Amino acid sequence: MLLMGGCANYDYPGELSLGEKMVSATGQSLEGDLVVIPKDFAGEKTLLLFGYVQDSQFDIDRWLIGLDMTETPVNVYEIPTIQGMAPRMFSGFIDNGMRKGIPKELWKGVVTVYEDGDKIQRFTGNINPNNARVMLLDAQGKILYFYDRGFSVAALKEVRVLVGVEGNATF
C-alpha cells in the first residue's frame, strides 16, 4: 500500500467533457474477474469512484456511506487506479492488501486498474490526488456527471437527481 502513495509519475489536469464516452480501460476485480470499463457496465447507469492514492479511500468511503444511507439505486464500483511500472510489478501484493481490508462479498465491486492507470488519470485529471474522482455513466458509457473535489452532500444530491431519485438526499 505504501507504493500507492508515491506512484503519481505525472500531473494531469484532465481531458474529459460531460456527454462524451468514458475511455476504455481494463482492470481486475478483487474476485479475479477481468473488467473492461465502460463496456462491462453497459445497459445501466453506473457510478465509478476512482482513487489514485491510498488517502483517497477516505472520500470513497464517505461516498459509499452517503449512497447507502440515502438508498441511492445505482451500481457503484470502486476503481483504484494506479499508474507506473513499479505498482504493476507489485500488483498481487497491493491487491492482497486490499482484500484483507474489504469483506469478500464486496470484492466484485472493487476493480483495480494498473496497466491503463496512466490513461485514466490523464483523462480524469490527477491534480490533488487525495480527492476521489466520481463519475456517473449512462447506460451507453457516456459521462453524465463528474466531480473531483472529495465528498459533499450537494454533490451526492446531484448524483441522486441524475439517477432519477425523487426528492433530495437526507441524513
Q: What is the pLDDT of residues 46-103, one digit of tens each?
A: 999 999 988 888 999 999 999 999 999 999 999 988 764 444 444 454 554 454 555 5
pLDDT of 2 > 50? The answer is no
- Helix, strand, coil proportions of the chain in percent (round to 5)? 35, 20, 40
By the 8 A CB rule, do 66 and 157 touch? no
Closest CA to 109 of 27, 43, 2: 27
**Closest to 79 (Cα-Cα) out of 116, 42, 43, 105:** 116
Q: Tell me if the bond preceding 73 is cis, omega within 30° of 0.
A: no
Predicted TM-score of the model (pTM) = 0.83
Query: Is the confidence at residue 36, as pLDDT, over 70?
Result: yes
pLDDT at residue 110, as a whole number: 85
Give the span between the Cα atoms of 7 and 83, in whole angstroms. 6
